């Protein structure tokens, strides 16, 4: 069913997006049509995994320096691939947070310099909002909808009312889901990024071999917790060390199965809350469930959530795999959507290492800064 939310109208827009919040340097150009539809004209991403590989994780200083070294070139490539120049742009958008402060500053300063030199509107984009709105670019999905945002730094369930309007109904009280995948991969000696590595090993493993907890299952609040699950994997691995290849595959399969069942349970509770909050509008809006963020690329999780959504009358939507991870197309799109609504920023907009989508959400007990 169509959504009651209307996309902001206006002339065709060309938005340059810049993404430097963590360990991907990215630049992209999108076209936003007057009817609110979008098209990716270019999307250039440079991963830094080889730079961080010797350290077993992302080193903020190395990430920031890597952004500085290549961002100008990536912007030039993105413009050339899109067939435009800076003079053709309608606005410039950059991820302003949340993320690593050094990397965010690199992208923001570059975007602000372009905006100032070309007298263009500047939009400071919330990286999480960019993930949340990506299905509007790729599939034309408009709010309202229920969103599972699962990435390396965040795992949240949100009601997406519209651009710049979110209600958080669930969050992680410790590790984010992507973080749990990465740490599990590291303790098992698998390469980073950990999510794809664990998923690949799990394909060949026995998910029933190791009994692992299903954190938070049955709780009324649809919050998440993965620290205990990660610890349980470590304990099982220590008990049978040294690990064989089969042991690693079975541990990965058992871990992934526990994750899937835990997320299913939390999402089921979120469906109930969403249906209650939206009951007077569901006949108009339909029941839409969106998953986004890097962990949305996990095929086992996607498949299980699609089955769950269908069982409750929801339709599941997710970005293409290539747009689940950090990229600049989503930044350019979120910037264009905000610009079309007049939500521009001045050049004093700061980098924000922490920037919740629902800034009025009460802190989840035990969650600390991750609330």
Residues 268 and 331 in one domain: no
Residues 51 and 96 in one domain: yes
Please list, in sequence order, all residues whose beta carbon lies within 8 angstroms of the beta carbon of residue 94, skipping any fewer than 6 positions away: 17, 18, 19, 20, 107, 108, 110, 111, 112, 122, 123, 124, 125, 331, 335
Rg (CA), the chain: 20
Residues 256 and 348 in one domain: no
pLDDT digits (tens, 9 = 90+) for 293-329: 999 999 999 999 999 999 999 999 999 999 999 999 9
* pTM assigned to the model: 0.93
Residues 151 and 265 in one domain: yes
Domain that holds residue 269: 145-321
Count: domains in the chain: 2
If you average pLDDT over every residue of the chain, what do you get? 93
Tokens (6 digits) for 225: 């917790």
Residues 310 and 345 in one domain: no
Q: How confident is the model at residue 2 (pLDDT cuts 50, 70, 90)?
A: very low
Look up the CATH number of the domain holding residue 188: 3.30.420.40
Is the omega angle on the peptide bond into residue 144 within 30 degrees of 0, that is, cis?
Answer: yes
Q: How confident is the model at residue 4 (pLDDT cuts 50, 70, 90)?
A: very low
Q: Which among 65, 77, 62 has a CA at the least distance from the CA of 26?
A: 77
Contact 91, 123 (CB under 8 A): yes
In a domain, 7, yes or no: no
Please list, in sequence order, all residues whose beta carbon lies within 8 angstroms of the beta carbon of residue 45, skipping any fewer than 6 positions away: 19, 24, 25, 26, 325, 326, 327, 328
Residues 305 and 162 in one domain: yes
The answer on pLDDT for 1 being more than 60 is no
Order of strands, sheet of 315-317, starting from the edge strand that comes earlier in the sequence? 165-171, 155-162, 145-150, 288-292, 315-317
In a domain, 109, yes or no: yes
């Amino acid at each position: 069913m169509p959504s009651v939310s209307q996309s902001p109208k206006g002339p065709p827009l060309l938005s340059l997006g810049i993404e430097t919040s963590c360990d991907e340097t990215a630049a992209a150009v999108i076209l936003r049509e007057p009817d609110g539809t979008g098209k990716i004209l270019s999307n250039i991403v440079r991963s830094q995994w080889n730079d961080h590989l010797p350290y077993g994780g992302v080193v903020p200083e190395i990430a920031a320096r890597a952004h500085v070294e290549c961002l100008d070139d990536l912007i030039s490539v993105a413009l050339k691939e899109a067939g435009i120049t800076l003079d053709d742009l309608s606005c410039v958008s950059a991820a302003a947070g949340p993320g690593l402060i050094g990397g965010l500053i690199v992208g923001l300063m570059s975007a602000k310099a372009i905006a100032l030199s070309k007298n263009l509107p500047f939009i400071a984009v919330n990286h999480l909002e960019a993930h949340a709105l990506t299905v509007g670019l790729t599939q034309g999905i408009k709010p309202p909808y229920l969103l599972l945002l699962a990435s390396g730094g965040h795992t949240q369930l949100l009601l997406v009312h519209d651009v710049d309007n979110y209600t958080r109904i669930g969050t992680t009280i410790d590790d984010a889901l992507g973080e749990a995948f990465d740490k599990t991969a590291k303790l098992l000696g698998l390469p980073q990024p950990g999510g794809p590595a664990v998923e690949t090993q799990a394909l060949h493993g026995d998910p029933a071999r190791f009994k692992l907890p299903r954190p938070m299952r049955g709780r009324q609040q649809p919050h998440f917790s993965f620290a205990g699950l990660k610890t349980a994997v470590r304990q099982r691995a220590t008990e049978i060390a040294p690990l064989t290849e089969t042991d690693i595959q079975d541990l990965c399969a058992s871990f992934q199965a526990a994750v899937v069942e835990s997320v299913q349970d939390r999402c089921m509770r979120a469906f109930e809350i969403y249906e209650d909050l939206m009951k007077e509008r569901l006949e108009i809006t339909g029941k839409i469930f969106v998953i986004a963020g890097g962990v949305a690329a996990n095929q086992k999780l996607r498949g299980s959530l699609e089955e769950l959504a269908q069982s409750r009358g929801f339709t599941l939507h997710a970005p293409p795999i290539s747009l689940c991870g950090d990229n600049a197309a989503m930044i350019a799109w979120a910037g264009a959507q905000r610009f079309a609504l007049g939500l521009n920023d001045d050049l004093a907009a700061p980098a924000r290492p922490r920037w919740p989508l629902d800034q009025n959400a009460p802190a989840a007990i035990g969650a600390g800064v991750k609330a």
